[in-house]
Amino acid sequence: MFRLADRIMTGILTVLGMTLIAMVLLSVVNVISRYIFGRALLWADEIAVLAMIVTAWLGLIICAWRNMEIRMEVVVSALPLPLQNAIRLIQQATIAAFCFWATWLSFGYVARVFRFGMTSDSAGIPIWYFHSAVTVSLTVVGLIAFSRMLQTVFASIGGSGLGKQAKGQEV
């Protein structure tokens, strides 16, 4: 299961990297078009900004899966293991709760934007495509945090051998 998820994350990362390259190329083409040919691609900047937003939110999923989020553990790592696990449990529960709450709010916004049929100004692309990346990312990060929370609980009660995650190491 973890290997499949790792492969999916690597695939997403590859697509995000190619998207970043495409945004740079689009910007170069737009500059050439604007300053050499006197005709700007009006939609290019808008698409680049929207793609960057989607890239950032989908990149959040990869950071969460790979346990690469920013955290300060100097004090926590000096505590006894049971207390470390308790703090990690609280952290993951808080992250999961916040993500699921924000998912609910984000889904409401995406549904309204979809109902209104809002499109981007220059490109005319439905805006809900881009905003749904926020909803998807928050949902997946919430599920990852919930999974880690369960791993910490099972590890602390001598459960399924998932103690590595509870000690802050990647599985």
Band (167; pLDDT cuts 50, 70, 90): very low
Residue 88 CB contacts under 8 Å (≥ 6 apart), including other chains: 76, 148, 152, 166, 168
What is the mean pLDDT of the segment spanning 149-158? 85
pTM across the whole model: 0.82
Residue 6 CB contacts under 8 Å (≥ 6 apart), including other chains: 65
* Vertex 89: Cα angle to 62 and 106 (nearest 5): 50
Q: Where are the alpha helices (DSSP H) in the chain?
A: 2-35, 44-65, 74-77, 81-116, 127-156, 163-166
How far is it between the farthest Cα atoms of the chain?
Answer: 69
Q: For residue range 47-79, list pLDDT tens digits in order.
A: 999 999 999 999 999 999 998 877 777 888 888
* pLDDT attached to residue 159: 52
What is the mean pLDDT of the segment spanning 32-37? 93
Rounded CA-CA distance 34/106 in Å is: 36
Give domain limits for the chain.
2-166
User: C-alpha distances in angstroms, 40 versus 24, 75, 122, 133?
Assistant: 15, 54, 12, 28
